[in-house]
């Protein structure tokens, strides 16, 4: 008997409300995941930068080489520092 008394508009409204609530919850969850991912990447990159500066300060590792090496690549800055700064210093030390 309930099926006869319920209107199709009420069913559509309830379905729309439920769908909107589900979409909003999904958007919040994706937003939280995005924020968490960005935060983890920021902490990781900050840690790499701090490690490169600390190791560079000790004199064992050049900071320009640590970050590119962490990503498996060479940058123009690292190449510039090697060939424009280190080589002349090494030659001058001879």
Give the pLDDT confidence of 21-37 residue by residue, as tens digits: 888 888 888 888 898 99
d(Cα 10, Cα 39) in Å, to the nearest integer?
Answer: 43
Residue at 43 is within a domain: yes
Q: What is the pTM of this model?
A: 0.41
Instruction: Give the count of domains, the chain.
Output: 1
pLDDT tens readout for residues 43-59 = 988 888 887 777 665 55
- In this prediction, residue 62 has a pLDDT band, given cuts at 50, 70 and 90, of low
Range of the domain at 54: 9-93
Note the pLDDT of residue 9.
66
Look at residue 26 and tell me if it is in a domain.
yes
Q: Exposed, middle or buried, 35 (CB in 10 Å: 0-12/13-18/19+)?
A: exposed
Per-chain mean pLDDT for the chain: 71
């Amino acid at each position: 008997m309930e099926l006869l008394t319920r209107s199709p508009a009420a069913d559509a409204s309830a379905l729309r409300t439920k769908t909107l609530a589900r979409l909003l919850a999904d958007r919040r969850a994706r937003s939280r995941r995005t924020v968490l991912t960005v935060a983890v990447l920021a902490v990781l990159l900050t840690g790499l930068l701090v490690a490169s500066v600390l190791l560079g300060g000790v004199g064992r590792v050049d900071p320009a080489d640590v970050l590119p090496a962490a990503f498996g690549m060479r940058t123009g800055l690292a190449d510039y520092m090697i060939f424009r700064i280190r080589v002349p210093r090494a030659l001058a030390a001879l």
